[in-house]
Structure 1
Amino acid sequence: MFHYPNGKPYKPSEPTKTKTISKKEGFSFSNRGKTLEDEINETNTYYLNQQIAIIHKKPVPVQIVKVEYPSRSAAVIREAYFRTPSTTDYNGVWNGYYIDFEAKETESKTSFPLKNVHPHQVNHMKEVTNQKGIAFTIIKFTTLDRYFFVPFTVLHEAWIAMENGGRKSIPISVFESKTIEIQPGYNPRIDYLTAIKNMITNEK
């Protein structure tokens, strides 16, 4: 069993039970059952192979506490702890820009619960933004099969509102009006770099 630094047990998110199949160009039945992390990893591999960007999933340091050896050639980890809280899922470099982002999924059809984001992740993305890096979140509404590129400014605005007593989720209407929807394709699967280009263009 893995534990966070505060002693709480780590519980991995359960795979999505239901999923709407979208008839978008590039969709294939092989994509069914894949998590957002799988799709982003495939996208990052494509970017790397095409020499477009270097983006990797961040490793999380783990301290092993208990190991059992059922046989001489096998070892089973029974207990371990994450040494430090994770910041965000991915980081890297594209076209001279430092990129740092989180990937989240929700089965809700109407909103994204802010409880899925941790305070230290918000603080980390704020620090990245202060250093002129590009911080964002990719959020997938699994039941709707919709993907959104959420600039940190949008997430931060909702977070501040929540801290001041506002709603504890971001409604789908905000995603549709203030973020960039990513249409999944074949290669790359989740082309978030195009969303970044659009964001940079709109800011000029």
Structure 2
Amino acid sequence: MAKISKYNHEGYKDLTPYEALKRVKDPRRQIQGAQAKVVGQYFEEMIDAACRYYEDQQIAVIEKTPEPMRPIKSLGGGKFVAHYEKQAQPDYKGTLANGRAIVFEAKHTSADKIEQSRLTEEQCERLQKYSELGAIAFILVSVDLQNFYRVPWTVWRDMKEIYGHKHMTIEELEPFKIKATGGIIRFLEGVEK
């Protein structure tokens, strides 16, 4: 019986149909991923615009927390290969005009609920520590980039006890709804004084 080679006549590995199928990327997932990235960037731009507005009004200085990455190889032209040194911190940190610290995580969803598990353990630990020291800590939730909610950290942390499940529905988010006017999410309305 002739031996079957695992390599084709050009010397490349000859994949089984199953191996070949595993390498094919699901176009639906690629599209969903690309859409999520665009929505996330737009949400971040809206938050950044609000941060500039609050700074211009001398209400607060709030900045995006840089990702804790460490470059490991230069690719030239300002590009590099990097890895995360530790889990991400909350997205934004700053100080109100009265000196009080503010820290929050931003999360977007297009679903009819948002899961508590969307925050990493590190983000939860940091929000808890800031909250214990008296900072204003919350999760800024966007639903379809049309409705926005400022969920206090303690409500997010205790949602299982409060709502009986580890997610919040649109109805449960409603008491935390905030305005967005002129392209600016008014996430400090009511807490800036």
* TM-score tier after normalising by the smaller chain length: 0.7 to 0.9
Greater RCO (Cα-Cα under 8 Å, separation 6 or more): 1
Report the Cα distance in structure 1 between the residues aligned to 2:118 and 2:64, rounded to whole angstroms: 19
Q: Residue in 2 aligned with 1:5? A: none
For residues 83-94 of structure 1, the aligned pairs below 5 Å read: 83-94=85-96
Shift in alpha-carbon separation, 1:195–1:34, aligned structure 2, 3 A: farther
Report the Cα distance in structure 2 between the residues aligned to 1:37 and 1:107, rounded to whole angstroms: 16
Which segments of 5 or more consecutive residues in structure 1 lack a partner in the other structure?
A: 1-12, 20-32
Which segments of 5 or more consecutive residues in structure 2 lack a partner in the other structure?
A: 1-32
Shift in alpha-carbon separation, 1:171–1:46, aligned structure 2, 3 A: same
Shift in alpha-carbon separation, 1:85–1:167, aligned structure 2, 3 A: same
Report the Cα distance in structure 2 between the residues aligned to 1:38 and 1:16, rounded to whole angstroms: 14
Give the paired residue count.
160
Shift in alpha-carbon separation, 1:104–1:36, aligned structure 2, 3 A: same
Shift in alpha-carbon separation, 1:87–1:174, aligned structure 2, 3 A: same
Per-residue Cα deviation, 1:59-106 (whole angstroms, up to 9, x for no partner): 12321122224xxxx3432x2112221110011111221101011000
Choose the corresponding residue for 1:130, options 108, 132, 136.
132
For residues 75-86 of structure 1, the aligned pairs below 5 Å read: 75-77=78-80, 79-86=81-88
Pick the structure with greater CA Rg.
2
Q: Residue in 2 aligned with 1:175? A: 173
- 1:190 aligned onto 2:185: yes
Q: Residue in 2 aligned with 1:54? A: 61
How many percent of aligned residue pairs carry the same amino acid? Answer: 26
Shift in alpha-carbon separation, 1:59–1:148, aligned structure 2, 3 A: same
TM-score normalised to structure 2 length: 0.72
User: What value does the CA root-mean-square deviation take over the aligned residues?
Assistant: 2.7
For residues 74-113 of structure 1, the aligned pairs below 5 Å read: 74-77=77-80, 79-94=81-96, 95-108=98-111, 110-113=112-115
For residues 28-39 of structure 1, the aligned pairs below 5 Å read: 35-39=42-46
Q: Residue in 2 aligned with 1:149? A: 150
TM-score normalised to structure 1 length: 0.69
Per-residue Cα deviation, 1:104-127 (whole angstroms, up to 9, x for no partner): 00010x211223111221111111
Shift in alpha-carbon separation, 1:82–1:107, aligned structure 2, 3 A: same
Report the Cα distance in structure 2 between the residues aligned to 1:140 and 1:75, rounded to whole angstroms: 32
Q: Which has the higher helix share?
A: 2
